[in-house]
Amino acid sequence: MITPKQRQTAAESLLEAQQTRVVIPQLSKSFPEMTLEDSYDVQRRYAALRVKNGARIIGRKIGLTSRAMQMASKMTEPDYGIMFDDAVFKDGASIAASTYLKPRLETELAFIMGEDLKGAGCQMHDVMRATEFVCPALEIIDYRTDVPRAIVDTIADNAAFAGLVLGGRIVRPFEIDVRWVPATLSKNGTIEESGVSAAVMGHPAAGLAWLVNKLATQGDGLKKGDIVLGGSFTRPVDVAAGDVIHADYGALGSIGVSFI
Amino acid sequence: MLSANDVAVAAARLDDAERTRKQTGLISLSHPSATMDDAYAIQAAWAKIKLAKGRKVVGWKIGLTSKAMQSALNISTPDSGVLFDDMVFADGAQIPLTRFIQPRVEAEIAFVMKAPLKGPNVTAREVLAATSYVVPALEILDTRILRVDPATKTARTIVDTISDNAANAGLVLGEQKWKVSDVDLRWVGAIVSCNGEVEETGLGAGVLNDPALGIAWLANRLARYGEAISAGQVVLSGSFIRPIETSLGALIEADFGPFGAVSCRF
């Protein structure tokens, strides 16, 4: 465990790294005794600073949802981060790569909640019932600390969240098979990654159920209107200025962005 | 260029490694000047050893078909290997782990040909015209060469992979046969689980954007050596997932949705 003062210092240094685009040393090195609980508190403090600066919280992202990513982080569960309104882009946007340190892209499904969802014992069917819409999404992830990272670094760093692009068709969750949404991710005309939404814990709603149960341990939950990024079903693809990105979700449509 | 003797020695090393299940050292280390052509010569020499022992060629495999796998080996082309009759397992088969050294599994689309394909200048359209049917498939990979040299920590290169029959060790074909005109190969997806947990997913489009392109590439590569894909042969068109590690008892299930399913247990 680290002290509340150390957590606050960590949150401030992460915000500064994001603003100045200079990575900070790994928090796991600066604070070797940092725990998972500490790292989620650093994340909350970072979010409070962002809100103080005028950002609005729009929902949560879930990360480390695939077996491969969990094993790489020596974790047996996902992690989550907090999303802000000033990190949302429209389909077709030109995004300044210089806003980020080492931006990468992931393909996901976004869940838009139709009712509050809170409490322990949440299951996949509770998630499906509480979800109003599902739509394709691209997530921009970024690292504000040096690498290699321990899991506490990733979580404190807002689970690597950096941006969100929503696009394609907005559907009701029972209109489609949420497990079988396909995606190809192309960079400059070449397919770099492909995947199917079942890569997210067998079913993306399982990730949201995990999130709701996790939030319950902190007395928190999801609210009507919240957007939840369900977790990537492709591996991260590096992007840089000049790259043109096309994510094709088959029958659910596609999302295109360019980095300038 | 390697001498005929160097090629024969390397092929014998690979054959020994497979039979004794003891990996041999990196060919790229013992022969630093070896080229991709040398590597295919070693692969062909090893195939000859197998044919002399009574094995039959049943087809081909194409590897390194995704951007990610090519970047990992720092090359920009696929590679290919030879499929033999003793590598074929039935859908649902119990596969003895003891047959392999470090088996891994990939999911792909297998093409069964009804007409020969001879390059050069074979196109994806000609591939489709020469295809009898396509089926869901699992490929078993193995490595008869050390992944990393213990002394120098040097990793395998493309020369090692190609010499080692493009890592091929087995294939499991699904039961569902599809005419190519009845399926959009780019959007065939696979959800692959090990012991009930989803490990990897991918789409046909992950293979060079279209699995048929890999087969055109193969026909054109074989033409350089005066060879061709024959009618009746099976071609594994390239994995659209990353390899899954296996262990004793591992149940591998590949769900291809409406396209079918294929499974095996080690």
State the best of B198, B239, B241 to mutate against chain A, taking most chain A CBs within 10 Å: B198
Residues whose CB is less than 8 angstroms from the CB of residue A82 and which lie 6 or more positions away in sequence, other chains included: A43, A44, A47, A57, A60, A61, A158, A161
> Does B3 reside within a domain?
no
Q: Are A24 and A13 in contact (CB under 8 A)?
A: yes
Question: Are the CB atoms for B140 and B169 separated by under 8 Å?
Answer: yes
Would the pLDDT of A38 be above 90? yes
Domain-embedded: residue A20: no
Radius of gyration of chain B, Cα coordinates, nearest whole angstrom? 17
Task: Give yes or no for residue A67 having a pLDDT over 90.
Answer: no
Q: Return the CATH number at A128.
A: 3.90.850.10
Nearby residues of A134 by Cβ (< 8 Å), 6 or more positions away: A109, A110, A111, A112, A170, A171, A172, A173, A176, A178
How do residues A77-130 score in pLDDT, each as one tens digit?
899 999 999 999 999 999 999 999 999 999 999 999 999 999 899 999 999 999
Half-sphere exposure of A125 (CA within 13 A, CB side): 0
- Asked if the Cβ–Cβ distance from B198 to A199 is below 8 Å, we say yes
Q: What is the pLDDT of residue B227?
A: 93
Asked if the structure places residue B50 within a domain, the reply is: no
Domain assignment present for residue B237? The answer is yes
Instruction: For residue A3, tell me if it sits in a domain.
Output: no
Which amino acid is residue B238, in one-letter code? G
> Helices A36-52 and A4-20, interaxial angle, to 10°?
60
CATH of the domain at B180: 3.90.850.10
Does the pLDDT of residue B75 top 90, yes or no? no
- Two tokens at B163? 């010499």
Q: Report strand pairing: B57-63 vs B79-84.
A: antiparallel
In this structure, is residue B45 part of a structural domain?
no
Which carries the bigger pLDDT value, residue A55 or residue B69? A55
Contact predicate B142/B100, CB 8 Å = yes
Chain A positions touching B68 (Cβ under 8 A) are 192-193, 235
Report d(CA B187, CA B184) in Å as an integer: 6
The answer to whether the beta carbons of residues B107 and B172 sit under 8 Å apart is: no
The phi and psi torsions of B196 (rounded to 5 degrees) equal: 85, -5
Is a pLDDT exceeding 90 seen at residue B172? yes
Which residues partner with B62 through β-bridges? B80
* Domain assignment present for B229: yes
Residues from A contacting B (CB-CB < 8 Å) are 66-68, 179-180, 182-184, 190-199, 201-202, 233, 235, 250
Q: In this predicted complex, what is the ipTM?
A: 0.93
The per-residue pLDDT for range B20-47, each reduced to its tens digit, is: 999 999 999 999 999 999 999 999 999 9
Q: What is the domain extent for residue A212?
A: 57-259
* E strand or H helix at B244: strand B244-245
* Chain B hits for A235, Cβ within 8 Å: 68
Instruction: State the pLDDT confidence band at B84, using cuts at 50, 70 and 90.
Output: very high
How big is the A-B interface in CB pairs under 8 Å?
59
Across the interface, whether the CB atoms of B67 and A235 are under 8 A apart is answered no
B149 by DSSP, 3-state: which?
A: coil
Number of domains in chain B: 1
